[in-house]
Amino acid sequence: MTTGLIAAAAIAALLGLLAAGMPVGAALGIVALAGFAHLASVDAALSVLRAVPFQVAASWELTAIPMFLLMGAVVTRAGMATDLFDAARLWLAPVPGGLAVSANLAAAGFGAASGSSLAASAAMTRLAVPEMLRHGYDRSLAAGVVASAGTLAALIPPSVMFVLYGVFAEVSIAALLMAGLLPGLLTAAAYTAMIVARCRLNPALAPPLPPNPRHLQERRRATARVWPLAALMAGVIGALYGGLVTPTEAGAAGAALALALAVAQRRLGWRGLGDSLRDAVTTTAQIFFVAVGAILFTRFLALAGIGAALADAVGPWADDPLFLIAAMAGVYLVLGMFLDPIGIMLITIPVFGPIATAAGLDPVWLGVLVVKFVEIGLLTPPVGFQVYVVRGAAGEALPLGTIFRGCGWFLACEVVIVALLIAFPPISLALPGALL
């Protein structure tokens, strides 16, 4: 079989397994092992299967992932996300679309304490959507903001996506985490500006909240309850940017600090601790399972020559970095319609990394763009993972069509943000350059 036929057969088999409901990691692994058996031998397939899971599980750098996830689980179980949304809601009530803006900024703050886009969207859906619907907010606006704002966790440190990218692209994880902060804040600001502008032009989207004479007292109490989360974010980000800890140590320090704050406030008992540990272990296992499948698949692509063929196809674009970025964006957006974001990144890094390096693109800047492209893929149909998380958390209140429609305005913002990141690389590179 030619390389083209092998690629077509592999993609068709992969899409067929995904359509049948098979988990992404299992689908990637099965197609890869079948490819190894066909191209080499069954023994070769079994040899790879024995080696790869151990290599993933034994990676020291990847230990940051369960620590960041544990930190986020403790924050969620201790109710810190609820406090953050309540404070934002009270302070931003007079702003047009204030509840939607509150959900957006609270998701950004929660992302800085959890590193998980899916966890941020799920938490904000449960907290913010009922409140917005109770006050007559447009359903597509309520759905779109919690789905889209959750993706900010992929950019604002600590970010699981940057850890994975840094490990597999062999780029400084500390530099990547620093590089994501300003783009993440820029995205949150762009979302806020869009929400306020839409709600000012069309007040029916977000009816003004009735005046509350006790707002000042409630604001003070709500703000006082936010200090543990603020201390956690400042401690982790400050220690990381100050060079006091490595990314792996930052995850462990953040988890320990979150536990200490939750226990000190008596907001996390033994049951809550057990639930936090279970959440972190479950999510870590899911991520590592997808990582194993993706690595098996990339090795199959290398054996079949598909990666080289794709590199040759994209290679002519490398003469112009802008065209190369455009070609990469197209590939990521298409893959984002069908595959898990972590799988997409791990599959494409071995192909695009060397091409981008040869074209002279900064690997840290490229990492920010890749995570941004993957983040956009979380919102695009037919397999927008953020959309399905919101649908699952909201139940019948938010149909899939309503959520996808609400994400459209935020995807339009993403086009502008990506253009700014490409046109002005210092947005991504200023902090790493100043602090490293």
In the chain, % of residues over pLDDT 70: 91
How confident is residue 3, by pLDDT bands cut at 50, 70 and 90?
A: low
Place of tokens 């996830």: 69
Confidence of residue 15 (pLDDT cuts 50, 70, 90): confident
The per-residue pLDDT for 392 is 76
Who has greater pLDDT, 306 or 100? 100
| Amino acid residing at 200 | R
In the numeric block, which tokens belong to residue 147? 């789905």
- Per-residue pLDDT band for 308 (boundaries 50, 70, 90) equals low
- Dig out the tokens for 255 from the structure: 């988890």
Structure token digits, residue 57: 């599980």
pLDDT range class, residue 317, cuts 50, 70, 90? low
Q: Is the pLDDT of residue 24 over 90?
A: no
pLDDT-derived band of residue 323, with 50, 70 and 90 as boundaries? confident
Residue 213 has pLDDT above 60, yes or no: no
For range 405-427, the mean pLDDT: 93
CA separation, residue 94 to residues 12, 91, 169, 204 (Å): 52, 8, 45, 15
Tell me, yes or no, whether 190 lies in a domain.
Answer: yes
- Asked if the structure places residue 238 within a domain, the reply is yes
* 245's tokens: 């800890």
Which helix (H) or strand (E) covers residue 86, if one does? helix 80-92
Q: How confident is the model over 67-72, as a mean pLDDT?
A: 81
Q: What is the pLDDT of residue 311?
A: 64
Please give the pLDDT value at position 84.
77
Q: Give tens-digit pLDDT for 249-296.
A: 877 888 888 888 888 888 788 888 888 888 888 878 877 887 788 788
The residue that leads in pLDDT, 192 or 58, is 192
Whether 292 maps to a domain, the answer reads no
Distance CA 375, CA 336 (A): 9
Q: How confident is the model at residue 94 (pLDDT cuts 50, 70, 90)?
A: confident
What's the pLDDT band for 85 if we cut at 50, 70, 90?
Answer: confident
Structural domain total, the chain: 1
Domain range for 98: 59-268+305-435
Q: Is the pLDDT of residue 309 over 70?
A: no
**Pick from 130-134, 189-193, 362-366: least confident:** 130-134
Out of 199-208, 210-219, 293-302, pick the least confident: 210-219
Query: Measuring CA to CA, which residue among 360, 351, 396, 382 is closest to residue 15?
Result: 382
| pLDDT higher than threshold 90 for residue 402 | no
- What single DSSP character describes residue 305? T
Mean pLDDT of 172-189: 90
* Residue 286 within a domain: no
Residue 212 pLDDT level (bands cut at 50, 70, 90) = low
Do the Cβ atoms of 181 and 432 come closer than 8 Å? no
Whether the predicted model's global pTM rises above the 0.85 cut? no
| Alpha-carbon gap, residue 203 to 141, rounded angstroms | 12
Residue 285 CA to residue 216 CA, distance in Å, equals: 45
For residue 211, pLDDT beyond 70 = no
pLDDT tens track for 143-157: 899 889 888 888 888
Confidence category of residue 306, pLDDT binned at 50, 70, 90: low
pLDDT tier for residue 115 given thresholds of 50, 70 and 90: low
Whose CA is closest to 173, among 433, 434, 432?
Answer: 432
Residue 42 lies in a domain: no
DSSP letter (8 states) at residue 209: P
Q: Give the per-residue pLDDT at 365.
A: 94
Q: How far is CA 334 from CA 7, 280, 330, 340, in A?
A: 16, 30, 6, 12
**Contact, 260 vs 188, CB < 8 A?**
no
Q: Cα separation of 366 and 373, whole Å?
A: 10
427 Cβ partners below 8 Å, 6+ apart? 182, 183, 186, 420, 421
Which residue is associated with the tokens 């009922």?
Answer: 130
Residue 98's pLDDT is what?
87
Percent above pLDDT 90 for the chain = 14
- Torsion angle of the four alpha carbons 36, 39, 42, 43, in this order, in degrees rounded to the nearest 10: -90
Residue 41 lies in a domain: no
> Roughly what angle, to the nearest 10 degrees, separates helices 227-241 and 80-92?
100
Q: Considering the domain boundaries, does residue 183 fall inside one?
A: yes
Max Cα–Cα distance, the chain, nearest Å: 75
User: Would 113 be classed as within a structural domain?
Assistant: yes
Please enumerate in sequence order all residues whose Cβ is within 8 A of that of 232, keeping only pairs 6 or more positions apart, or say none.
71, 75, 80, 113, 254, 257, 258, 261
Most confident of 87-91, 123-127, 427-431: 427-431
Q: Residue 383: which pLDDT band, with cuts at 50, 70 and 90?
A: low
pLDDT at 369 over 90: yes
